[in-house]
Structures are given as structure tokens and as C-alpha cells.
Amino acid sequence: MKAFLLFFLVLSFANVRDMQGTWQFVKEQDGIRMYNRPSQQSKFNDIKIEVDLHGTLNQVAAILADAEKYTEWAYGTKTSIIVKKINHYDFVYYSVIDVPWPASDRDFYAHCKIIHDSSSHSLKVVSESIRNYMPEKKNIVRIPLSRGTWDIKAMAGNKIHLVYILELDPGGNVPAWLMNIFSTKGPLETFENLKQKLKRLNRE
């Protein structure tokens, strides 16, 4: 009986893991492919972006390390400042996301770490929100969960393959039109902006 129960628990865990790991295609826009899946951390779906870009690992690392310029390409970002710098590729930053009226703007503090693995020609980036890093601000909703991971690999011909996964709970009241911004419009426009930024760098 105990053996059967153990087998059942292992099987159940495997099924949950497999279901959580099944990505569903959402749409493709200008070579940027978007997927989602049910989240284990939030009532909102996880998001995955997959895209091939012209550029190098060093260029992407430099862009992601320059947190104060996220306002130039990350969708809806109206404030982005580094509040603690451990080193150039390890820091805590604060961002405010502009949300259309009548909803409230969102903000978060996040720890970002960028790891360049020269042996595998890859770049790993993790940016994870720290909810209670500083007190919440009036009239701004603190995002309770934001975890973005970037897995980037160098390819032939000065190209990179990028996979980005976002686990997000935007907090507060989230009507359907606002969820569409967070789950579709925002990620697609962010990576379109990144694509264009890399193009400009490689024309210079």
C-alpha cells in the first residue's frame, strides 16, 4: 500500500511538472515568437519569448547592465535607476511602469545578475523582484512578483538566439485590457525595441 501511494505521489508530481512546463504558442510578430503556460507562482500565465537577433553576447550584456537606459526600450518604463551596485553585472534597480488611466502605475525593485559563460558562448541573466526592499509609494501599486530569465546563445554570422521567460503578478486590480498590455503588447514591443537597438549598434 505504501509503495502504491509513493508511486501515485511521484506520478502526480510528474504530471503537474509536465503540465506547468507545456508552452502554448500565442503569436509571432516580426520573427518574435510568444508562448504562455499556467504559472505555479501566480494566477497570471508565464510568458516566453523566443527570437534570433543580429548582435553579440557582449552587446546584449552591455544593454542589460545599463539599467538606467531601460526607459529607452523596455515597454512602459518611465523610471529606471540603480539603487545598489555590487558590480557592473550584479545590481539592484528600481523601475516605475507607466500604466494607462484609470489604472495605477506599477513599480518594483529587482536584483539583476548577468553571467557570461565564455566556454559555452552563452549569457544567463536573472532579474527578480524584491517586494519589500523599500516601502511602497502612494498611488503606485507594488508588483508582488516579477522574475525574468534570459538564456542567450551565440550563433554563427554575428547572431544570437534568445529565450526570455517572465513570471509576473502585476498586483492590484487587473482588468482584461491591462492584462493584455502586460501579457502580450508589452513583451512584444519590448523585444521589437531591443531588436531595433541591436540593429542600430551593428550599423555604427
Tens of each residue's pLDDT in the chain, 204 residues: 434 333 333 344 444 444 457 999 999 999 999 999 999 888 889 999 999 999 999 999 999 999 999 999 999 999 999 999 999 999 999 999 999 888 899 999 999 999 999 889 999 999 999 989 999 999 999 999 999 999 999 999 899 999 999 999 998 887 777 777 788 889 999 999 999 999 998 886
Contact indicator for 167, 126 with CB cutoff of 8 Å: no
Cα separation, 106 vs 128, in Å, equals 15
Return the pLDDT at 188: 95
* This prediction's pTM: 0.87
Give the per-residue pLDDT at 42: 83
What string of DSSP letters covers 79-132? EEEEEEEEETTEEEEEEEE---TTSPEEEEEEEEEEEEETTTTEEEEEEEE-TT
Give domain limits for the chain.
20-203
C-alpha cell at 203: 550599423
Grid cell at residue 27: 503569436
Structural contact between residues 113 and 125, judged by C-beta atoms closer than 8 angstroms = yes
Which helix (H) or strand (E) covers residue 195, if one does?
Answer: helix 186-203
Residue with cell 500565442: 26
Fold (CATH) for 20-203: Alpha-D-Glucose-1,6-Bisphosphate; Chain A, domain 4 (3.30.530)
What is the spatial distance between Cα 21 and Cα 35, in angstroms, rounded to a whole number? 11
pLDDT (0 to 100) of residue 20: 56
Q: Which pLDDT does position 65 carry in this prediction?
A: 97
